[in-house]
Amino acid sequence: MDYSTIGWILIGLIWASIAAYVFWMIGPVWKDKLLRCPDTGAVALVGIRQVMRAGKAPAIEVERCGLWPDKQGCDRGCLSQFGETSPGLRVDGRGLGLKA
């Protein structure tokens, strides 16, 4: 194997490792949803995880929120809206000062 082949292999490995790192970074937020905070009225990106409970149906809890750490101690009222939205759903900007 000559040096140019080794160089191209190294470049390919570097690009593959960069791509793997990027997917590793965005993986956790891939399925997050935009939800309106019932406390502040702000729209935030919210990540939910499913929690298994012994002898009971699985529950969901907020894993991350775009309004944290300022609103970390909220009552998690956005969980009631989680099933009403889907990933990729356009946010209605009326009332937010946004142009539709």
The 10s digit of each residue's pLDDT in 5-59 is: 999 999 999 999 999 999 888 877 777 778 888 878 788 888 887 778 787 777 7
Residue tagged 């009971």 (tokens): 56
Tell me what pLDDT residue 32 has: 79
Three-state SS at 94 = coil
Long-range pairs for 64-70: beta carbons < 8 A, 24 or more residues apart: 64/28, 64/29, 64/32, 67/37, 67/40, 67/42
Q: Is the pLDDT of residue 60 over 80?
A: no
β-bridge mates for residue 62, sequence order: 48
At 44, the amino acid letter reads A
**Domain residue ranges in the chain:** 1-28, 31-100
β-bridge mates for residue 44, sequence order: 35
Tell me what pLDDT residue 65 has: 82
Tell me what pLDDT residue 83 has: 63
